[in-house]
């Protein structure tokens, strides 16, 4: 039994990561979906067919080189398992996370970034918010050494 099967929390060894070169080229999707479940909205929504799946019970296979980082799949995934990372600028990186709670943060607001277990990862500014149905895609400015850990947010009181 692997670590996430015991704890329910993924670690970075279980996700497909882009190369350093790809990461610096522009926004790119990170899919943290590792269970074989009958689900495929991510495949259906991608406008350039960057996500593949031979059978609906498979886990998604993403073409990281082809992905444009549009984040459409972030708001469509019912498992809240898709993120986008952008390290194309010199000063810090952006991590886009799915969000379905209230209150919804505003652009420019400073929130608390959270890791996969809900631990406090420090303050992060909201750079952009996109809504689609019930799920928001919230883009946070994050230090480069936190991009593999920040996967959520908490609005400050």
Q: Give the end-to-end CA distance of the chain in Å, rounded to a whole number.
A: 39
84 belongs to the binding site for ligand SF4 (CB under 6 A): yes
CB 123 within 8 A of CB 108: no
Binding residue for ligand SF4, selected from 22, 25, 40, 104, defined by CB under 6 A: 40
Q: Indicate the residue among 72 and 142 with the shorter CB distance to ligand SF4.
A: 72
Q: Indicate the residue among 78 and 122 with the shorter CB distance to ligand SF4.
A: 78
CB 86 within 8 A of CB 23: no
Binding residue for ligand SF4, selected from 39, 95, 124, 138, defined by CB under 6 A: 39
d(CA 82, CA 64): 13
85 belongs to the binding site for ligand SF4 (CB under 6 A): no
142 belongs to the binding site for ligand SF4 (CB under 6 A): no
138 belongs to the binding site for ligand SF4 (CB under 6 A): no
Q: Pull the structure tokens for residue 106.
A: 């505003």
d(CA 73, CA 67): 11
Q: Pull the structure tokens for residue 151.
A: 């996967």
| Shortest Å distance, C-beta 111 to ligand SF4 | 22
Q: What Cα–Cα distance (Å) separates residue 155 from each residue in 18, 87, 113, 147?
A: 29, 24, 9, 19
Q: What is the 8-class DSSP label of residue 78?
A: T
**How many residues form the binding site for ligand SF4 (CB under 6 A)?**
27
| Shortest Å distance, C-beta 139 to ligand SF4 | 12
94 belongs to the binding site for ligand SF4 (CB under 6 A): no
Given the rule CB under 6 A, which residues bind ligand SF4? 29, 31, 33, 39-42, 45-46, 48, 50-51, 60, 62, 67-73, 77-79, 81-82, 84
């Amino acid at each position: 039994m692997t670590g996430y099967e015991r704890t329910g929390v993924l670690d970075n060894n279980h996700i497909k990561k882009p190369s350093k070169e790809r990461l610096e080229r522009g926004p790119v999707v990170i899919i943290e979906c590792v269970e074989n479940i009958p689900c495929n909205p991510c495949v259906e929504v991608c406008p350039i067919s960057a996500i593949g799946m031979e059978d609906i019970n498979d886990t998604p296979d993403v073409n990281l080189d082809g992905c444009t980082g549009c984040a459409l799949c972030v708001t469509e995934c019912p498992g809240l398992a898709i993120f986008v990372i952008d390290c194309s600028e010199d000063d810090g990186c952006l991590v886009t996370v799915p969000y379905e709670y209230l209150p919804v943060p505003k652009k420019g607001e400073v929130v608390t970034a959270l890791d996969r277990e809900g631990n406090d990862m420090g303050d992060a500014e909201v750079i952009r918010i996109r809504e689609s149905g019930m799920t928001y895609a919230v883009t946070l400015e994050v230090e480069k050494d936190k991009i593999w850990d920040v996967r959520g947010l908490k609005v400050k009181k």
